[in-house]
Structure 1
Amino acid sequence: MKAFFGRITALALRLRYLTLLFVVVLMVLGIQAAVTQKQELLPPIEFPQTFILAQANGMTSEEVMEILTKRIEAELATIPEIINLQSTTSTVPGAFITAANDFGLNQEALRAKILAAIDRVWLPKRVLQAPAGENPRTFSAQLISELPAEVLIYIAQKDSNFLFQLSPDVWRALNEDAMRGALVYLANRVDQSTDAKNALELLVNKEIVPQIGGLETVGNVSVSGGQDLPEETNGIEAQATPAPVLQTQPESLLLRLSPKVWHVIAGKLGLGELNSETAASLARE
């Protein structure tokens, strides 16, 4: 065998140009075969594993283990094709389970069985819904009527437009203590506008935003933009005309309530017209 390879080596060295040509031809044929190869005829390579991620929020690791991991593993263990289960449980993201099976199985069919097993897992749901036979609107109004003023004020501190986006029906459903507490909160807050502010911006924030936010189909209203862009006319850059400036005095946020909302509030609490005197009276409470 050693003599055979020795003769091949000697022949290749003696016919070196022919050997180089032969190598180049093999390289060209190899590249052509790689380019024209029908890869769709190759069998797909699938690893015999399936990964399941069950996300959980607001639960401890022990709660995730008891509520998610153990229940999912118990259902997956009923599938005969699964030969091993490994899981990792944490607060974030939750339960991560690896289901291993033998090679050669139909992974699509196995995934369908795994999905069916997961669907059978009973998980607690946090849903607020009306009891059987009770009107959902009546149930919602009852929940709103039980809200304390502290909850409304807390949300208003997080979202300054929250109270102005409540519809008249929501204000009507509030209890008198919660309603008065929210009004006192607004009466003691003043508009943070500066003394010199764009008149259009004041109009949008005080008049348009509360009206749009009060619509049932609108969830939130935000205002942005307002940059002055230079314009060109016949190659000459035009100077932007400054917006009119409105001198204002800080006023109570209570005055930003819409007339429809105040009509409901005034009728329920026996208040008069919405003006600075009413705001000052509520601010003293």
Structure 2
Amino acid sequence: MSRLRRKIVIGTGRALALSRGGRTHPRSGLHRGHAASPRSRGEGEVRVTGPPLLALRGVSKRFGAVQALKDVDLEIHEGEVVALLGDNGAGKSTLVKVISGVTPADKGVIEWQGRAVQIRTPRIARRLGIATVYQNLALCDDLDVAENLFLGRERRCPGVRGRLFRLMDTGGMRREARGQLDALGIRVPDLRTPVATLSAGQRQTVAISRALLGRPKAILLDEPTAALGVPQASHVLDLVDELREQGIGVILISHNLGDVKAVADEAAVLRLGRNNGFFHVPTTSQDRIFSAMVGATTNA
């Protein structure tokens, strides 16, 4: 499938709107019809996509006297991009940590592929098939691209060299890294290049590629375009589209409504730790979503 063509409108230092060049969201126009679904309370048309890949039902989290999350619901399906939106302090980061196993929920139910699970550690999340790319990327600047992709999961040489001398299969890791980057359309001329010398956009794509080596079914992207210029941000959004086309569910945490309009199928808004609206992005205006983010409207 050909790459998307985006028309970028610049305003106040950031892209305010990105259009899909005539392409519609996949499966749009079909009605879900499930009254318990969070999206049944949103605007516009919703879609039948079968049971959710990941579902949160009434999730709450408290830190001492601070109620960070209160009865939060969220759903994501295979091959769907859901934008998680909200002002500072809305609870987005806490919700990401709950899903990724960094901070277990105090109460509520998390369902993975239709069955209730307890995600108490990041290892459990990864084992289920949930990957997270945090805003700080967690890359090692002194290591090269291939070494960063395999950081923590290095491969040893086959045979005696690996078992006895514990030598790393550098060539094999570079070949697999090259195949991974090429499959995603990521251009890094030399995999031996230290990550410190890459552009911000390239670093972001390396971090996403590393998360994909574990073959996740869902991936959480925390502000992936926040520190990028318009061309680099557009490339990262193309990558998000590629993930959707591969059937991966994507939760996109972002403050940029232009990015959300460009790639998201659905938007879930948090306000002061609670749900404040679910929206079908292609049929909902940016003003409507923004009003829910800042609390001008209450949609919970």
TM superposition score normalised by structure 2: 0.20
Q: Which protein shows a greater Rg? A: 1
Structure number with greater CO (CA < 8 Å, separation at least 6) is 2
